[in-house]
Amino acid sequence: MCFAVMVEVYHLPKRHPDAGEFRIWSLLARSDLSVRTIGRIMAVNKRVYDDIPHGRKTVPKKDPQPHPFKAQRPHQYWFIDGRIMDFALAGVTWWSLIMLDGYSRTKDLVKYAAKLGMSFVRKPLYSREGANVALVSAGTTLAEQEGPYGAEGFIRQALSPLPNFSDQYAVLGSWLVDHTPCGLSIREDENPITGNTSRFLPHAIL
C-alpha cells in the first residue's frame, strides 16, 4: 500500500470523525482502491495514532422530528437505495440501485388483521398442497395440516369455508395462460383443507 494513501486516510477521519469507511472511500475518489482496503487502513491508523477519534462524538439525543417526505398513501414518494458491490465483473465495479416505496404498509396490515378478528386462515409464506395451513373460526382451530413449512413466517387471510356435500369438501382450481383461463379441476376431500392426497373428480361443462 502506498504510504501517501495511508497518510491521506490518516487526515480524513480527523476532519470527518463520524465518517465510516464508505464515506472516507468516497472522499478519496480513488477507483483503484476498494472500500474494504480503506477500512483496513482506518483500523490500522486507529491502533497506531492516538489523535484519530476512536469513536463517535456523544451528542445529546434530539427529539424525533416528523419525516419531511412521509408518504400518506402508496406510491406518493419513492426513494433510491444505492450500494456499491464489493466485486467487479470484467473489471467494472457494479452498484445496486433499489427503488423503494416510501409508504409503510404496516398500519394497513394492522387494520386488516383487526378486521379479520379471530376468524382467519393461517398460511406459511412458503408451502404447498395445504401443508401447515390452519383454519381458525372465533378463536377455535377447525382444521390444521402438518408439514415441514413455516420457518419463514405466516400470513393470515379471510376465512371462506368450502361448501360441504355429504361430508365432502370440494374446491375448484383453474389454470391461466397469458391471463386466459384454459383449464379447470375439481378436487374433493373429507378434510376442509385441500392436500396432496385430495381426489381429482371428473367433470363436464354442459
Q: What is the SS3 assignment for 41?
A: helix
Q: Where are the domains of the chain?
A: 1-58, 69-104, 114-160, 162-206
Q: pTM value?
A: 0.46
Evaluate the CA torsion angle 149, 151, 152, 156 in order and state its sign: positive
Q: Which residue has the cell 469513536?
A: 55
Which residues are bridge partners to 156 per DSSP? Answer: 122
What is the spatial distance between Cα 48 and Cα 96, in angstroms, rounded to a whole number? 35
Q: What is the mean pLDDT of each run of 10 residues along the chain (206 residues)?
A: 80 82 84 85 82 65 82 83 74 79 73 81 89 92 91 88 90 85 88 90 72
What is the spatial distance between Cα 25 and Cα 36, in angstroms, rounded to a whole number? 9
The grid coordinates of residue 183 equal: 383449464
